Structure 1
Amino acid sequence: MNFFLVLRGKTLKQFLVVVIAAFFTAWFLYAESSIRIPVFSTKDGPKAVYKGEKNVALTFNIGWGDEKAKPILDVLKKENVKAATFFLSGSWAERHPDLVNRIVKDGYEIGMLGYVYKDYTELEEDKVRQDIVKAQEVFKKLNVKNVKLLRAPTGHFDKTTLKLADHFGYTVVHWSVDSKDWTNPGSEIIKKNVSKAKKGDIILLHASDSAKQTASALPGIIQVLKKKNLKLVTVSDMIVNGDAKANEIK
């Protein structure tokens, strides 16, 4: 015997609404769980951290210049900041071995910012590889050990960058809060930009000479973060002690 289910128009509409609602609920739960994967990544490939789960990380890019790094280190010492991560270009590091040595002695983490300030997404793979290797050689000569983090010089990276970084044993690090200090908008604006930070954020700052107001903004930034009960940690500590968040690179 054959049985047929006859749905009237109203019943059919109700059925479709339930199906659509179930679909979007499933999609939402999937997206919510996926955002906790610690990467900007290829589908099954290497990873790039841009945000953690707890604490905050102050990160400073130094690509060039002779004047701004020391004042920033002085402020960090005065404000008793024990943890920060400095991304150094190899070309800057080899010209300022004394400051590199101070960064290490002060207990801060060092990451790589390539060798020269070039957009990795605009270079051929061999050129990116050569840039990383040249920077490696500089840090080796300066006896800087345990460099495990790499930030693309301009902040732009793609699958090739991720693949090469993974090949050399580096984790690519982006950021979730941009201070925009390099635009020199004034110390108060820089502080306001960073005041948006919350648990898990990686904060981008600069210690190159183009960022003329970072040192003056730092005390206020540190005060704001402390008032929010946010502990300052290195990027590596953030990665080790909590899940990081990510998006897929396509």
Structure 2
Amino acid sequence: MKLFWIFNGTKLKQYFVIVVAAVFAVGIAYAEKQNVSVFTSQTGPAAIYKVDTDQKKLALTFDISWGEQQVSPILEILEEKEVSKVTFFLSGEWTKEHPEIVKQIDELGYEIGSHGYKHINYSRLNDDEIKAQIRQADQILHEVVGKKPTLLRAPNGDIDKRVLKIATDLHYSVILWDTDSKDWLRPGVEEIVQNVVGKAHRGDIILFHASDSATQTHLALPEIIDHLRKDGYEFVTVTELITDAKVKAKPID
């Protein structure tokens, strides 16, 4: 009888672990679905996620909010592959801690956009807190690179109508993405490559990360760059992409 209970106890623990893992996975999927579901077709403030163009142009974008180990390898790949036009979205908090890296990014000629100050979800903040996050990042980026950013990508892409209105009032264009490399999940180099080259299209805005969680990004980049170039794509900054092009936006209800 004692052995029976030990056996069942072990089984119960195994079942418990499986159930917890399943619930966690469903929770992530639900959260991602919720982030997408807030976008509607109604008239209102809009976040840009791609542009409608006949030209084979797209924008590679990199978010950075923590760490310094992955930035240099990515910059080295971009220089090696002679990709001179990409856009980095930098958090104010990270910029304050790594001003020399930010200056290097700027001196290399890459576009710099704001990723807010702290990496927190803006939809959970009140209006004054949202304004403070954007303005604080604005001030720090201006101090470090000498110019005010005009693009904003909210942390986690978490936005609502309030965030869009506040950002617009502060003279920002809110930028999302249409192709997600999912590099921060570290799914493997080949999967990152396929996540991008399998979905990239004209006028696309592609999401990468250069934070320390994205340890496989620099390994996938060479193949991605080569593949897209072979397909005839030109790499441009987000600002260049959205200038003189018909914007595809996701209005917020």
What TM-score, normalized to structure 1? 0.81
Q: How many percent identity over aligned positions? A: 45
Alpha-carbon separation, structure 2, partners of 1:151 and 1:221:
23
**Cα deviation code 1:224-247 (max 9, x no counterpart):** 110110110000001103111123
Shift of 1:190: 0.3
- The 4+ residue runs of structure 1 with deviation greater than 2 A are 40-47
**Cα deviation code 1:188-215 (max 9, x no counterpart):** 1100000020101100000000001001
Q: Which residue of 1 aligns with 2:205?
A: 202
Alpha-carbon separation, structure 2, partners of 1:96 and 1:41:
38
> Which consecutive residues of structure 2, in runs of 5 or more, have no partner in the other structure?
1-38
Alpha-carbon separation, structure 2, partners of 1:107 and 1:53:
26
The structure carrying a bigger strand percent of its residues is 2
The structure carrying a bigger helix percent of its residues is 2
Q: Which residue of 2 aligns with 1:193?
A: 195
Q: Which residue of 2 aligns with 1:51?
A: 50
> Which consecutive residues of structure 1, in runs of 5 or more, have no partner in the other structure?
1-39
- SS of residue matched to 1:204: strand
**CA RMSD of the aligned region, Å?**
1.4
Shift of 1:45: 3.9
- SS of residue matched to 1:82: coil
2:117, 2:134 within 8 Å by CA — same for their partners in 1?
yes
Task: State the one-letter code of the partner of 2:233.
Answer: L
Alpha-carbon separation, structure 2, partners of 1:41 and 1:106:
38
Give the direction of change, closer, same or farther, for the CA distance of 1:49–1:62 in structure 2 (3 Å limit): same
Alignment partner of 1:226 out of 219, 224, 229: 229
Q: Which residue of 2 aligns with 1:163?
A: 165
2:41, 2:250 within 8 Å by CA — same for their partners in 1?
no
Shift of 1:52: 1.2
Alignment partner of 1:213 out of 194, 210, 216: 216
Say which one has the larger Rg.
1
1:59, 1:202 within 8 Å by CA — same for their partners in 2?
yes
Q: Which residue of 2 aligns with 1:137?
A: 139
Alignment partner of 1:108 out of 106, 110, 131: 110
Alignment partner of 1:126 out of 125, 128, 147: 128
Task: State the one-letter code of the partner of 1:48.
Answer: A
Task: State the one-letter code of the partner of 1:210.
Answer: S
1:121, 1:156 within 8 Å by CA — same for their partners in 2?
yes
Shift of 1:143: 3.2
Task: State the one-letter code of the partner of 1:49.
Answer: I
What TM-score, normalized to structure 2? 0.80
Alpha-carbon separation, structure 2, partners of 1:200 and 1:101:
28
Task: State the one-letter code of the partner of 1:99.
Answer: I
Shift of 1:221: 0.7
Task: State the one-letter code of the partner of 2:195.
Answer: N
Shift of 1:167: 1.0
Task: State the one-letter code of the partner of 2:134.
Answer: I
**Cα deviation code 1:157-199 (max 9, x no counterpart):** 0001101101110000000000000000111110000002010
Task: State the one-letter code of the partner of 2:48.
Answer: V
2:46, 2:251 within 8 Å by CA — same for their partners in 1?
no
Alpha-carbon separation, structure 1, partners of 2:157 and 2:146:
23
